[in-house]
Chain A
Amino acid sequence: MQPTDTSHPDHYHRVVDCQWACPAHTDVPEYIRLIAQGQFTEAYLVNRESNVFPGILGRVCDRPCEPACRRGRVEEKPVAICRLKRVAADHRDDISARLPLIPATKNGKRIACIGAGPASLTLANDLLPLGYEVTIFEKWATPGGLMRTNIPSFRLPASVLDEEIRYITDRGVDLRLGSPVDSMKALLDAGEFDAIFVGSGAPKGKDLELPGRRATPDVAAHVHIGIDWLESVAFKHIEAIGRRVLIIGVGNTAMDCCRTSLRLGADDVKVMARKPRTFFKASKWELDDAEEESVQIIVNHAPKTFAVENGKLVGMWFERMEYALAGERIVSERSAESVFFPCDDVILAIGQENAFPWIENDIGIALDQWHVPQVDKITFQSTRPEVFFGGDAAFGPKNIIWAVEHGHQAAISVHKFCQGLPVSERLPPLLNLSSRKMGIHEWAYHNDYSAVERRLMPHVDLKERFRKINIEVELGFTAEQAVAEVQRCLNCDVQTVFDAKLCIECDACIDICPVDCLTMTPNAPEGELRGMLKAPARNLTQPLFVSTPLQQTGRVMVKDEDVCVHCGLCAERCPTAAWDMQKSTIKIPYARDETTPCMKQPARKTA
């Protein structure tokens, strides 16, 4: 193998699995260390830098970081990264003085955002400090987008949502509530704005046209579309549901629907899944939370017809499916029998899609056959240069943290576009390394491995939580739990940095490594080299580190990063400091980094 090019920022970034997996590249180990030091405000600000909504995401993020967490490969369970984010948010001090300053003199460029969801809010967050005037058009009377309409308040309290949105909207955004945009053409023709950002989400829930669906108005009234129904509940247009409810679909929206039903009077809620459990789209933890509340999840049942008697919905017929599986794949399926489930209401949670009835065909925005605009994957620009898309509106339903990242990227594009710079030329991420060595065996980080297991999130008592719809179920970690949980983080950003020129090949690092991730061996092609490792990696997606040839024997030092616990013992046992523990800081470029050096920064004013 070729020696690893550690000067490429991606090499060390990939070692920090959580940060690499996070769409917004949140500096997870850094904020966990700050929590460990009791610096909650600083931890919150590290989060806010990249993910903008730490309090919200600390409760409802899809947390791609956790399945990626190295701790989950070293032992069974990852660090509770998401809920630690909430710890930082719960315990932070007032941060308003530490938000970036907004210049009083504007730069003369006006930006319109359509929809006040996470993508638009992030874009505004990034552009306001640069002097842009941002107007957000929101169809509802409150901002937040799906964070408010589709996430029930027992998971995300309105107060948390309001506070973090106000950090942006109160700082000079022209927020126009109750103002849906009905025509893109009209908005463009008015010429009021230099750029338009569409962050209107994927607002159309999929329907299920089966026999009986529209048999009578009564049936239609008892069959609900998940995201619309959640929205009506959020705005208190719906305050009750029948006793027996069937949820069709088993994604995260289905989990919100079933748990909301229980709080609106249902006591027999079944989630009907077409396929076996391994095919579920819902996150494991959301399934767990639903099942804790006695929601039944019934697998292998495909909906067939709505059963109607005397004009009323009485239940649904399903086909009980039998699948032949080859590993993770279904190779054949057959219907074993028809089964009837009685119910009073049905909620359809089988997906959602984009819908842009308000974007005209003839205004230079290229649309595909499904009337969805063509959007550049990197710049988020449409075929009409001043129109940008982000969040679910860009590439269909994803999640909040992706919407935030889209907002950041679109902000860079909008900024470059408004400054007359080429949108496709973007700054690369940068990487800085600095040694953590303090003394002969002292490091500026806690390098000892803590064997504690993942802390369990305390929940409100099962009876108590159904009393009102907005009782937040998760209580947040106690101080004791947070103290234990932060120690589980392996500090993957404190990198093992190797200097082949200093190595005397004494084997000390190889002998001491608790997880056998180091090997000194003659070089070979990757496949062969992986087989020669002291303990071959199970996770082949993580690249190997291969040094330049060593001085004495010409062998190479190979490190399999997969299960390194960053204990630093290789560096402690190294007599020549060929290994060093160095903290990597990944600098992700934002819109503000694109500003030219001569651009005047606002002076800090005292209050």
Chain B
Amino acid sequence: MSFMTKPKVAHPGLPRNQLGLTRRDYEGGMSTLCAGCGHDSVTAAIIEATWGLSLRPEQLVKLSGIGCSSKTTAYFVSGAHGFNSVHGRMPSIATGAIAANSQLYYIGVSGDGDTLSIGFGQFAHAIRRNINMLYILENNGVYGLTKGQFSASADVGSKAKKGEANQQPPIDAVQTALTLGCTFVARSFSGDKAQLVPLIKAGMMHKGFALIDVLSPCVTFNDHEGSTKSYEFVRDHYDAVVHADFVPPANEITTEYGAGEVVPVTLHDGNRIVLHKLDPDYDPTNRGKAINYLRDKQAHGEYVTGLIYMDSKSLDFHDVNATGSTPMNQLPFAKLTPGAQGLAKIMERYR
């Protein structure tokens, strides 16, 4: 933790987005995480992505639970709305907020403990309801805040800092999400912003629940030899399967690709995601095949990364519940409160 804040001074040649803002305008408070924490790189990737999307800070809602990961929301876009919830209960808060206002962009940041242990049920139901949010899981396989116990995502055989090996099988967030029907499933690595930044953009623009499981090494408790979530191990066992490029409607698709197949996917709002299949046999639109592929790679100790599965035509929470598009805080009082007569009418339905 640094004693000084990041100086406000910036490079005079910093590029500006459509709003005339620089990356620096999307920063938050000074991180108090350990030096070298993967989570800080995720923060930087979120800053880069929200800047690149030219979001107005007040269009963004950031939500989190408890844990090192959940501190992340304090470190980007100071001007956004934010809610730091009880441990594992961020999806409930997000569901409520999303129900009340469909016009904002929601980023939830959670960790492997917050998501796969205490908040596992919440996580599952947020996916099931297909609430329109980007859910970033900063996954380091360890409880860093309580000094390095194995978390639910720790791999069998992965060693703790003092040498003991983990015996219990991990919960794989990506496979879990796929089986639960998640409509946007990705995995990435905090040390690969070239992959992560476009994924965050795509996830934010996806209609429905978007999960990005980000391998984000704990530099203090899980970056040693024998760990399967260290910077070095992840780089050695990295299998990028589908690279996703986010392309706004105004831009031409100009990126040149080498071998492999390129699939442009048009989103509900005209934005496009260009899927570049690094493995030509892989099909990111087939849920069953994706699950098999992941299981196969997992058996070989590989981390499959990239945009693993996407369903751009799914119905989200608002579609299913036929909610109105006007945010509740903009509805006239009379419409929002039915009054005694209206209440009586509603009650009558249940008699």
Contact = CB atoms under 8 A, between A and B. Distances in A.
A574 interface: yes
Nearest to B190: A507
A573 interface: yes
B231 A563 contact: no
A506 B41 contact: yes
Given A449-B9, A511-B41, A535-B11, A506 B36 contact: yes
B10 A508 contact: no
From DSSP, what is the main secondary structure of chain B's interface residues? loop
B12 A74 contact: yes
B193 interface: yes
B2 A441 contact: yes
B2 A552 contact: no
B11 A573 contact: no
Given A504-B232, A506-B219, A508-B41, A515 B191 contact: no
B35 A508 contact: yes
A447 B2 CA distance: 11
A504 B9 contact: no
B193 A507 contact: yes
B36 A552 contact: no
Nearest to A573: B35
B35 to A, nearest CB: 5
Contacts of B3: 441-442
Contacts of A507: 40-41, 44, 190-191, 193
Given A505-B231, A506-B231, A573 B41 contact: no
Contacts of B232: 504, 552
A75 B31 CA distance: 25
* Interface size bracket, A side: 35 or more
B300 interface: no
Contacts of A447: 4
Nearest to A574: B35
A538 B15 CA distance: 13
With most chain B CB atoms within 10 A of its CB, the pick from A505, A514, A574 is: A514
Contacts, number: 104
B14 interface: yes
Contacts of A442: 3
A128 B36 CA distance: 55
A553 B43 CA distance: 22
Given A504-B223, A508-B41, A567 B36 contact: no
Given A74-B12, A449-B9, A511 B4 contact: no
Nearest to A74: B9
A508 B223 contact: no
B4 A448 contact: yes
Contact of B231 (A504, A510, A515, A567): A504
B191 A505 contact: yes
A565 interface: yes
Interface string B1-45: 111101111111111000000011000000100111110110110
B223 A515 contact: no
A573 B40 contact: yes
Contact of A75 (B9, B43, B220): B9
Interface in A425-458: 441-442, 447-449, 451
B37 to A, nearest CB: 7
Nearest to A451: B8
B11 A449 contact: no
A535 B24 CA distance: 12
Interface string A531-553: 00001111000000000000011
A516 B7 contact: no
A517 interface: yes
B215 to A, nearest CB: 12
A330 B36 CA distance: 54
B13 A535 contact: yes
Interface of B: 1-4, 6-15, 23-24, 31, 34-38, 40-41, 43-44, 190-191, 193, 217, 219-220, 223, 231-232, 235
16 contacts: A73-B12, A74-B12, A447-B4, A506-B191, A506-B219, A507-B190, A507-B191, A512-B31, A514-B7, A514-B9, A515-B11, A516-B14, A567-B4, A569-B2, A569-B4, A575-B34
